[in-house]
Amino acid sequence: MAIYRPSEARQQKGQTAPEEPNLVPIMNLFVTIIPFLMLMIVLSQVAMIAMNFESSGETGGAGDGTGGGGSEELIEIRLYASEHATGLFPGFEIRDVDRSVTKIPKVGDVYDFASLQQMLVQLKDKYPNKSEIAVVVYPDVMYDTLIRTIDLSKQNGFVTVKYMNPKQMYYY
């Protein structure tokens, strides 16, 4: 027969199963935080294309499309839609700083972005230090076409894109 000292016997009698921690306050906290975070969550965020319009006139601006009026000669990408005057064509026209012109007409109803991409790669190889390019947009060109053109320019190292309008000339 085992003999316990009175204190040991009392301790054995008092032992119970360990209690689970009370998780209810933590649950309350979580249930409050989660709806709050769900309100702030942005699951589909849009991308951005930046254009700088600094007052110095060096980087961007809705110019008049005369091209090369500044201190540095610019490469121009002209975007034409189909409705323009005689002599113009639907597609891209790239005017190099040496005044040579490359035409990339539409293929069917679609602008030939793949050829534009090739052309921009060649231009970057030719002028590795150039980071500016001008995009001259005719009014009827679709916004989607403009954005894709700016996108390709930026992808090929022409990070500063000048947004220009063609010079409107009226003959009476």
Partner 1 sequence: MSSQNSTNKKKGTRRVRRKTEETRGLSITSLLDVLTIILVFLIKNVSMEAVKISELPDMHYPTTITDEKLLDNPEVVPVKLYQDRVLFGIDNLSMGTPDDIISDANKRDAMRQYFEREMANIPADKKDKACLVVQADAFLRCIYLTEIIRVATYANFPNIYFATIEDPDWLSDFRPASPQ
**Applying CB under 8 A, what is the total number of residues that bind partner 1?**
61
Q: Does 57 bind partner 1 (CB under 8 A)?
A: no
Binding of residue 49 to partner 1 (CB under 8 A): yes
70 binds partner 1 (CB under 8 A): no
**Token match 């930046």: residue?**
50
Closest CA to 161 of 148, 145, 146, 150: 150
Q: Which residues contact 150 (CB under 8 A, 6 or more apart)?
A: 49, 51, 135, 161, 163
CB of 134 to partner 1, least distance (A): 14
CB of 71 to partner 1, least distance (A): 20
Minimum separation from the CB atom of position 18 to partner 1 (A): 14
Cα separation of 163 and 150, whole Å? Answer: 9
**Pairwise CA distance, residues 110 & 139, whole Å:** 17
How far apart CA 116 and CA 120 sit, in angstroms, is 6
In the complex, minimum distance from the CB of residue 23 to partner 1, in angstroms, rounded to a whole number: 5
**Phi and psi angles of residue 137, each rounded to the nearest 5 degrees, phi first:** -115, 125
Could you list the residues that contact partner 1 (CB under 8 A)? 20, 23-24, 26-27, 30-31, 33-34, 37-38, 40-55, 61-62, 79, 102-105, 107, 110, 112-115, 117-119, 137-144, 146-148, 150-152, 154-155, 163, 165
